[in-house]
Amino acid sequence: MSKVYTQLNFHKHTFCVWQEVSEEAIVGYEAHYSSRSGSRYIFTKSGVYRIANHWGRAANCRWRLQALEGYKNQRVKIGYANWTDFYVNDEHSKLYFITVDYNLHTVQYHHRDSFIPRDNALLRTAGATAKRMVLLKEVVSETNWAKYLQYTLLEDLRRRIIDELLTTDATFIAIKQKHHRM
């Protein structure tokens, strides 16, 4: 049975993907709570609005903003999340998996309890997920990592390496050694 989140506990060790909304969504509302860091919160029966200029790690939480358009940290954005969008977060449990969008060249992490298909992606701790995402972002967006590797088509090699990074704990060096030029 999953934990039930409300305005009393949503800010304690949680993971959440917030959806950015426009200012019109909160017209007529007053903030119910303001944090020491300047974030403001508006509580509703079904969820919470957050007005903040920082997303990602917030105290003991991992809160990501799904922005309407190019998000720049330090700019105030309004996010909304249903109470059911919050999941337990701790630094030691294997709670996270990573997905790659090959068309958009993006890498995202998700909570194991979210409704995102996981395929064969490995569950990792928050720290291990962050480290693996750095590698995946490099493989998705750069080509320098492929220097000295044996391949015909870079995109085929890229997909094979990404697949191994997603589904195994093998090191990047070990994965690349499989494709090293003789």
- pLDDT given for residue 182 in this prediction: 40
Low-confidence ranges of the chain (pLDDT < 70): 1, 70-74, 181-182
**pLDDT tens-digit series, residues 130-177:** 999 999 999 999 999 999 898 899 999 999 999 999 999 999 999 999
Phi/psi at 98 (5° precision) = -120, 145
Query: Do 181 and 148 touch, CB atoms closer than 8 A?
Result: yes
Cβ–Cβ < 8 Å for 20, 76: no
Model-level pTM? 0.85
Distance of alpha carbon 144 from alpha carbon 13, whole angstroms: 37
Coil/strand/helix, residue 175? helix
State the sign of the Cα–Cα–Cα–Cα dihedral 54, 134, 66, 89. Answer: negative
